[in-house]
Amino acid sequence: MSGAVPWNEARAQEIIDAHLGLEGPALPILHAIQEEFGYVPEAVVPQLAQSLNISRAEMHGVVTFYHDFRHAPAGRHVLKLCRAESCQSMGSEKIAKDFLERIKLEWGGTANDGSLTVEAIYCLGLCAHSPGALYDGEPIGRVDAEILDELASEAQKS
């Protein structure tokens, strides 16, 4: 997630204002906030609620409903492992569990050196190449332990 800038309330308001004219602007704003800051800070929830004229509880519900919105900055690289049915049928749960144990992370966790964040995702549309993953936005099919270890090693080096 290199390129993300530190949280800035004024910049967040610029992003909100730029999207307010859209139909159903909440999700485009949240995506833009995450794109800018690397996550959706808790501080933006009341700001966004006020701008959209909805309650903080409603806005909090939207932010927490979608797994794609992070609540803390991600590592320099993000690995998303598919946990949908097709990937599960090809052993993804065991592959992911073993990988997370090897690198000593939980789902959604970031390595201590900030090199890698591992997140769950539910269907990448790579079912014919299950189990699937997404590494910094790049789809990877037929993921196995060796591939995951290579990705973790690559993340540490860059």
pLDDT 10s digits, 43-68: 999 999 999 999 999 999 999 999 88
Q: Please give the C-alpha separations between residue 44 and each of 11, 88, 113, 114, in angstroms, as whole numbers.
A: 11, 35, 27, 24
Ramachandran angles phi, psi of 124, nearest 5°: -105, -5
Q: What is the pLDDT of residue 3?
A: 62
In the prediction, which pLDDT does 4 show? 78
| Average of per-residue pLDDT values in the chain | 94
| DSSP per residue, 17-84 | HHHTTSSS-HHHHHHHHHHHHSS--TTHHHHHHHHHT--HHHHHHHHHH-TTS-SS---SEEEEEE-S
pTM of the model: 0.79
